[in-house]
């Protein structure tokens, strides 16, 4: 499985956009980029995933560089409830086991 | 989205006893489910892949005789921690992906089970 690199922590003011980067320079052509988050003492929650094109849903936007070696998760208007650990994972399909790195701990402050 | 449940949410047991944790996909079927373990302030570590109707596949370093996995139906997988010891105290989480997604979608995670072994 390709490895990902994320900053250990980030801060964001409530109401501002949170931009979480992820490097996956060894990603294979058939691997998707998945983003999950884990709020304290809960199971991970799916956020978004993509292959090549940028994606947007009701939770976030995913921007993938043209060479697919990095991506950015964007929470357009962060709220206090977005405080969590965010994991960027690459995987060929949703049926495959997910290898979790250390993630980015996002702290949203008033 | 699809829902995965786990039971119990919390369990406290004495050292040497066995504990069974259930993972259910409530509104979808899943041939494959995954079991993870998470120690405090650490990331999730995959323990095993649970396959319906066949033996589970364990990750390196996970004792298959200690962590028994049974995937008897397309909606239920169980993890039994046998002869539990305090070092087995952890947060156990399962996940699954709907068969109908063709593997192109996301995995759904259960809420987790916190095991404390005294």
Residues A80-110 have pLDDT tens digits of 999 999 999 998 876 678 889 999 999 999 9
Q: B-chain residues within 8 Å CB-CB of A100? A: 36, 43-46
What mean pLDDT do residues B27-34 have? 89
Maximum CA extent, chain A: 41
Q: A-chain residues within 8 Å CB-CB of B109? A: 36, 43-46
Which residue numbers of B have CB closer than 8 Å to A's CBs?
A: 1, 4, 6, 32, 34, 36, 43-46, 49, 91, 93, 95, 97, 101, 103-112, 114
Enter the DSSP assignment of A5: B
Mean pLDDT, chain B, rounded, equals: 92
The answer to whether residue B104 scores a pLDDT higher than 70 is: no
pLDDT digits (tens, 9 = 90+) for B47-88: 999 888 888 999 999 999 999 999 989 999 999 999 999 999
pLDDT for residue A30: 87
Q: How far is CA A105 from CA A110, B45, B57, B108, in A?
A: 16, 17, 31, 21
H helix or E strand, kind and range, residue B47:
strand B45-51
Q: A-chain residues within 8 Å CB-CB of B33? A: none
CB atoms A41 and B112 under 8 Å: yes
What whole-number percentage of chain A has pLDDT above 90? 83
What whole-number percentage of chain A has pLDDT above 70? 96
pLDDT-derived band at B15 (thresholds 50, 70, 90) equals very high
Closest CB from A93, A99, A103 relative to B103: A93
Cα separation, B107 vs B118, whole angstroms: 33
């Amino acid at each position: 499985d390709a490895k990902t690199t994320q900053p250990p922590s980030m801060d964001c003011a409530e109401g501002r956009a949170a931009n979480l980067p992820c490097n996956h320079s060894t990603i294979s052509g058939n691997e998707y980029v998945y983003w999950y988050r884990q709020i304290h003492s809960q199971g991970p929650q799916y956020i978004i995933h993509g292959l090549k094109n940028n994606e947007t849903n009701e939770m976030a936007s995913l921007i993938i560089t043209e060479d697919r070696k990095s991506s950015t998760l964007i929470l357009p208007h962060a709220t206090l409830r977005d405080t969590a650990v965010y994991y960027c994972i690459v995987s060929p399909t949703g049926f495959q086991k997910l290898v979790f790195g250390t993630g980015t701990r996002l702290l949203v402050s008033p | 989205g699809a829902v995965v449940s786990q039971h119990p949410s919390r369990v406290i047991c004495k050292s040497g006893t066995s504990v069974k944790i259930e993972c259910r996909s409530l509104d979808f079927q899943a041939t494959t489910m995954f079991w993870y373990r998470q120690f405090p302030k650490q990331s999730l570590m995959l323990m095993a892949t649970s396959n319906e109707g066949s033996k589970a596949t364990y990750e390196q370093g996970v004792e298959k005789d200690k962590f028994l996995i049974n995937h008897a139906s397309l909606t239920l997988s169980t993890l039994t921690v046998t002869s539990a010891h305090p070092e087995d105290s952890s947060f156990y989480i399962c996940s699954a992906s709907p068969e109908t997604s063709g593997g192109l979608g996301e995995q759904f995670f259960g809420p987790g089970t916190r095991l404390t072994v005294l």
